[in-house]
Amino acid sequence: MKIGFTYDLRREYTALGFSDEETAEFDSDVTINAIEGALQGLGHDVLRIGNIYELTRQLAAGNRWDMVFNISEGLYGAARESQVPALLDAYRIPYTFSDPLTLAVSLDKAVAKKLVQHAGVPTPEFFVIQSLDDIRHEKRVRKNIFPLFVKPLTEGTGKGISAESIVWDLAAFTKQCGNLLGRFGQPVLAESYLPGREFTVGITGTGEHAECIGVMEITLNKEAEPAVYSYLNKEFYEERVVYSLIEDKDIISEASDIALRAYRILGCRDAGRVDLKADPQGKLSFLEINPLAGLHPVRSDLSILCGKTGVPYTALISRIVESALERVRGVLEPVDA
């Protein structure tokens, strides 16, 4: 198959002057080479496209592909992950992973939480702060709601998340909201702090065919910033984080049930990762979903999880392509050489 490949290569953006933080979600040459190598190993002809600007140029020039392997995160706006898939939909070119609607609702953590909560999936109570004025007017900001966890509404990769994300009183809450509003120029999500164990669940497939690859616990050791799987803990995970595959059947059942329900409710496709945390009684809740989970062959949580369950990287990429192909089988037109 002739597979186009859309992605945001981090070094291209840093060369243009974008900061490390602005480009934190973008991919390295290691990831791009690994995906390309896996696709070639599966017998596909891979044509690198790159970011949305290059895709636009190539579409205008008349280039077409049987399918696009899309991991583009986008740069601007709360629907930035939806932009490449929306363009591909307009040209009726099939692509891997979720559609524009799913990517947009999943990126906005409050919208995703409302949708899963509506369907009965447990998730911490929350509210959104648009400006510091909201804190004065927000009736739910009372003494007894603390501790709260605060984070940017539409970010990933631990951006804006540190030990300061856990706030124990109004002064710390106001300070941290002010920091995040100024630094990220977007609303802040405030939710109940869950102090229990943390898990991430890997999923491949779509709809009824979606299945859980495994449940992995994230434990922080003493070199880590305490209590939070933060930006810095993710960055220096080799020294700070311990990843363990869960064998306990009860935890697997509770975690995979929440994760698969959230994945299906939000309409995720092909593969993704769902983050869960426990309350003091050990009951699990949905924190967030990653329909474009990182695919660095060594560093990304999904790859680490696959490694522990005996799913080789090429097999993961193969499952993603096969899942995408199930959608288009029968309607895929051969492309002229």
Ligand X SMILES: Nc1ncnc2c1ncn2[C@@H]1O[C@H](COP(=O)(O)OP(=O)(O)OP(=O)(O)O)[C@@H](O)[C@H]1O
Which residues are at the interface with Mg ion (CB under 5 A)? Answer: 275
Site for ligand X in 195-254 (CB under 6 A): 198, 228-229
User: 65 vs 97, which CB is nearer to ligand X?
Assistant: 97
When the beta carbons of 81 and 288 are compared against ligand X, the nearer one is 288
Which of 191, 225, 254, 270 lies at the binding interface for ligand X (CB under 6 A)? 191
Of these, 265, 287, 292, 321, which contacts ligand X (CB under 6 A)?
A: 287
Q: Which does 151 bind (CB under 5 to 8 A by kind): Mg ion, ligand X, none?
A: ligand X
Quickly tell me which residue has 């898939």 as its tokens: 85
Is 188 among the residues that bind ligand X (CB under 6 A)? no
Judged by CB under 6 A, the residue of 8, 36, 66, 275 near ligand X is 275
How many residues lie near ligand X (CB under 6 A)?
Answer: 20
- Closest distance of CB 36 from Mg ion, Å: 26
> Contacting ligand X (CB under 6 A), which of 44, 80, 269, 277?
277
Q: Tokens representing 212?
A: 């859980």
Span near ligand X by CB under 6 A; candidates 76-84, 172-180, 287-295, 324-332: 287-295
Q: Does 187 bind ligand X (CB under 6 A)?
A: no
Nearer residue to ligand X within complex by CB, 46 or 203: 203
How far is residue 266's CA from residue 14's CA, in Å, rounded to a whole number? 33
Which of residues 51 and 290 has its CB atom nearest to ligand X in the complex? 290
By a kind-dependent CB cut-off of 5 to 8 A, residue 56 interacts, out of Mg ion, ligand X, none, with none
Q: Binding marks (x or -) toward ligand X, 26..55, rule CB under 6 A? A: ------------------------------
**3-class secondary structure for the chain?**
CEEEEECCEHHHHHHCCCCCCCCCCCECHHHHHHHHHHHHHCCCEEEEEECHHHHHHHHHCCCCCCEEEECCCCCCCCCHHHHHHHHHHHCCCCECCCCHHHHHHHHCHHHHHHHHHHCCCCCCCEEEECCHHHHHHCCCCCHHHCCEEEEECCCCCCCCCCHHHEECCHHHHHHHHHHHHHHHCCCEEEEECCCCCEEEEEEECCHHHCEEEEEEEEEECCCCCCCCCCHHHHHCHHHHEEEEECCCHHHHHHHHHHHHHHHHHCCCCCEEEEEEEECCCCCEEEEEEECCCCCCCCCCHHHHHHHHHCCCHHHHHHHHHHHHHHHHCCCCCCCCC
- 10-47 burial, b if ≥16 CB within 10 A, otherwise e? beebeeeeeeeeebbbbbeeebbebbbebbeebebebe
For residue 50, the cross-strand partners are 6
- Choosing among ligand X, Mg ion, none, which partner's interface includes residue 318 (Cβ < 5 to 8 Å by kind)? none
Buried b (16+ CB within 10 A) or exposed e, 110-129: bbbbebbbeeebebbebbbb
Asked if 66 interacts with ligand X (CB under 6 A), we say no
Among 112, 194, 258, 260, binds ligand X (CB under 6 A): 194
Quote the least distance from Cβ 258 to Mg ion, whole Å: 14
Q: Is 158 in the site for ligand X (CB under 6 A)?
A: yes
Partner whose footprint covers residue 95, from Mg ion, ligand X, none (CB < 5 to 8 Å by kind): none
Considering only residues 4, 74, 85, 156, which one is a binding residue for ligand X as defined by CB under 6 A?
A: 156
Residue 191 contact partner, candidates Mg ion, ligand X, none, CB within 5 to 8 A by sort of partner: ligand X
Interface contacts to ligand X, rule CB under 6 A: 124, 149, 151, 155-159, 161, 191, 193-194, 198, 228-229, 275, 277, 287-288, 290
